[in-house]
């Protein structure tokens, strides 16, 4: 999709996070406290990314997950802060969601630290 179409489709904040690889302030997303059963989908394209049973409270201030649905992300190394970090993007639309850290709970030991702005929550019927 052309950049102008993304600007029309997304809010200013969504565009900054998903298309410009921005980061929202910690504790700013209501999805950090989301506890209902359902699915977290990409705010850019609607692709299902995480089930609610993958979410946990990391204390970081961002919605965090110990794994994702299979095959939904591409990763790359990000060195913007002077240290290598694993950044992940939606495989369907390329939207930036956050970074993967190796300080998560079992069974994976991973923490998908996601910008809440990049997600929408769909409650299970």
DSSP 8-state code for residue 67: -
Tokens 């300080």 belong to which residue?
Answer: 103
41 bridge partner residues: 48, 120
Of the candidates 42, 45, 93, 113, the residue annotated as catalytic is 113
Copy the structure tokens of residue 31.
């999805």
Q: Which residues contact 110 (CB under 8 A, 6 or more apart)?
A: 66, 67, 100, 101, 102, 104
Q: Tell me 25's DSSP state.
A: P
113 is catalytic: yes
Active site residues: 113
């Amino acid at each position: 999709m052309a950049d102008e179409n993304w600007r029309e489709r997304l809010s200013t904040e969504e565009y900054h996070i998903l298309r410009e690889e921005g980061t929202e302030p910690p504790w700013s997303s209501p999805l950090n406290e989301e506890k209902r059963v359902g699915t977290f989908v990409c705010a850019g394209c609607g692709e299902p990314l995480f089930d609610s049973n993958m979410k946990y409270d990391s204390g970081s201030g961002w919605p965090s997950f110990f794994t994702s649905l299979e095959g939904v992300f591409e990763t790359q190394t990000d060195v913007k802060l002077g240290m290598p970090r694993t950044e992940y993007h939606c495989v369907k639309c390329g939207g930036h969601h956050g970074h993967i850290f190796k300080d998560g709970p079992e069974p994976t030991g991973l923490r998908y630290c996601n910008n809440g702005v990049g997600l929408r929550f769909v409650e299970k019927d």
